[in-house]
Structure 1
Amino acid sequence: MGSRASSLLREEEIEDIKKETGFSHSQITRLYSRFTSLDKGENGTLSREDFQRIPELAINPLGDRIINAFFPEKSTEAVAGLILGAYQECHALHSLFSEDQVNFRGFMRTLAHFRPIEDSDKNKDPRVPEPLNSRNNKLLFAFRLYDLDKDDKISREELLQVLRMMVGVNISDEQLGSIADRTIQEADQDGDSSISFTEFQKVLEKVDVEQKMSIRFLH
């Protein structure tokens, strides 16, 4: 499987992914080998079912939320662009509307949020977009795990749902409600009884997010 992976990944694709994600050449080729081993249909994409077969995600209480992060919704602008002829090739149409499939580049973009921050990341040219593994992007990734309805706010009910996923039946609903109420009371600065991303950032400003949201990838 590894030889198949390296033979199908073109050098120009590797270079593009390096620039976009910050992964090294060897990390990309080895992660591609892992990607193809998960690709049971051998069609160059992964389904939700493929991710659910990963043992670490299967036992993670937030596994489904993490899997969802690999399948971002297609933007209205992208759909409009396609309809207006911005994309001409048939595979672009298939890619745009395959909401339950993710290709290798999308796979790597999501993994890049968990790449440890290095000195080279901190010295990026301010004129270019911040790296996917920046503190801000790591926080945004975490925020979206809680923002179930994607309205850019974490409500009390959303916080309760995620807490239930995390603790199961080990804590009573009354205790969970108390935790949710206290969390929102401490974080909510504008009085709307929910947590915005800015408020989320403020609450976690002293937390070592870079360390907690980092995975040591293959070298």
Structure 2
Amino acid sequence: MGNAPSMLTQYDIEEVQEHCHYLFSQQEIVSLYKRFCQLDRNSKGFISADEFLSIPEFSLNPLSQRLLKMVDGLNFKDFVAFLSAFSPLATAHQKMELIFKVYDLDSKGRVTFNDLMEVLGDLTGSFMLENQREQVLSHVLEEAGYTRDTSLLLDDFIKILGKSSMKMEVEVPVD
């Protein structure tokens, strides 16, 4: 599965299913493979940043530049593993792990106040002034028992944000 073959074997499908913790059915994996091949315009076996940006929903996302760092150059197996966090079968913990990676700007396993400020700035744009973002984040951290000097690990991050309800799902059309 290094270079995009013309079709998946049963073994490939089962291997991808295992890799994504069985969060997608075999039919969904076949559908995802068709979509992957459409995106992989040069049949290189991976999807480039430019190819990801050709997806309107992706390119319009205010966090698309952060997501690009995570998805640029993914082969099919890793593409499905990335998407598995968006499966309706994914646990809240699996979804939070992905969100944590988006916030962990330097990929060191910690989220700082500045990381939170940058992501909140990307999400709110000019609708919220920087001092307003600082006040909101300081208040949220304080209510959870943290300060702005705290570096949040995944468990801390989940403690703070895990209570919010989030809808992170994508529907995979099956032919």
With the length of structure 1 as denominator, give the TM-score of the two structures: 0.70
Say if 1:199 and 1:158 are closer, same or farther in 2 by CA, change over 3 A: same
**What CA distance in whole angstroms lies between the structure 1 residues aligned with 2:52 and 2:103?**
20
Does 2:134 correspond to 1:173? no
Question: Does structure 2 conserve the Cα–Cα contact (< 8 Å) formed by 1:52 and 1:58?
Answer: yes
In the alignment, structure 1 residue 45 sits paired with structure 2 residue 46? yes
Aligned ranges 1:1-219 → 2 under 5 Å: 7-21=6-20, 22=22, 23-70=24-71, 100-117=72-89, 133-189=90-146, 192-209=149-166, 212-219=167-174
Which consecutive segments of 4 or more residues in structure 1 shift more than 6 A?
none
Q: Considering only aligned residues, what root-mean-square deviation do their CA atoms show, in Å? A: 2.1
In structure 2, what is the Cα distance between the partners aligned to 1:192 and 1:174? 17
| TM superposition shift of 1:190 | 8.3
5+ residue gaps, structure 2: none
Percentage of matched positions with identical amino acids: 31
TM-score normalized by the length of structure 2: 0.85
Per the alignment, residue 75 of structure 1 pairs with: none
Q: Deviations over 1:120-175 (max 9, x none)?
A: xxxxxxxxxxxxx2322211111111111122222111111001110111111111
| Contact 1:39 1:45 (C-alpha < 8 Å) held by counterparts | yes
Greater relative contact order structure (CA < 8 Å, 6+ sep): 2
**In terms of Rg, which structure is larger?**
1
Equivalent AA in structure 1 for residue 39 of structure 2: L
Inter-partner Cα distance in structure 1 for 2:105 and 2:141: 16
Gaps of 5+ in 1: 71-99, 118-132
1:152 is paired with a residue of what secondary structure?
Answer: coil
What is the alpha-carbon distance in structure 1 between the residues aligned to residue 45 and residue 148 of structure 2? 47
When the two structures are aligned, how many residues end up with a matched partner? 169
Q: Secondary structure at the match of 1:214?
A: coil
